[in-house]
Amino acid sequence: MVQNWKEVGPHRYRETFGRYYEDFHVGDVYEHRPGKTVTEYDNHLFTLLTLNTHPLHFDAEFAKASEFKQNLVVSPYTLALLIGMSVTDVSQKAIANLGMDDVKFTAPVFHGDTLYGESEVLAKRESSSRPGQGIVTIRTIGKNQRGEVVCTFKRSMLIPARGNAVEDRVETY
């Protein structure tokens, strides 16, 4: 169990988030909650902010003529949302994301779908070049409200060991 508070004075506590390198164990699975219902606004905003001009994501008339009969949620939004959902469980203390592999979009996502994520710890090792830090690799799975897998990916992160995180060195954090 990860402690989610630290004492910062007599009868005074500060909420903390995330895990240190030592808190990760291969095979552990973290269910990320709450889920997020994707809105039409979310999809249109992300699509237009990223200059994705494919009309399948924001032109309802175009989408009606497609096999999907409605706008598809742009896939980078699905990926970003699942990464965001996982932060408090796996990367709140991360120093850096080192990479992503095997990103797969296995089912379409539509506005109105609610997404949930879970991450499994696949591997961990101490860094050979950065004392007090380690590399943790996870696999994240995103599912919709029907339990259908919509996205999977692996992610590696550089995680500090206990006593080596920014919040361990900054008094006001």
Tell whether the model's pLDDT for residue 2 goes beyond 90. Answer: no
The pLDDT > 90 percentage for the chain reads 80
The confidence band for 138, taking pLDDT boundaries of 50, 70 and 90, is very high
**In the structure encoding, which two tokens stand for residue 95, read together?**
């120093």
**In the structure encoding, which two tokens stand for residue 149, read together?**
């897998």
The confidence band for 10, taking pLDDT boundaries of 50, 70 and 90, is confident
Tell whether the model's pLDDT for residue 173 goes beyond 60. Answer: no
For the chain, the domains span: 5-169
pLDDT of residue 169: 77
Residue 33 has phi, psi (to 5 degrees) of -135, 150
Q: Taking the model in full, what pTM does it have?
A: 0.88
Topology of the domain covering 5-169? Thiol Ester Dehydrase; Chain A (3.10.129)
Tell whether the model's pLDDT for residue 3 goes beyond 60. Answer: no
Give pLDDT tens digits for 116-133: 999 999 999 999 999 999
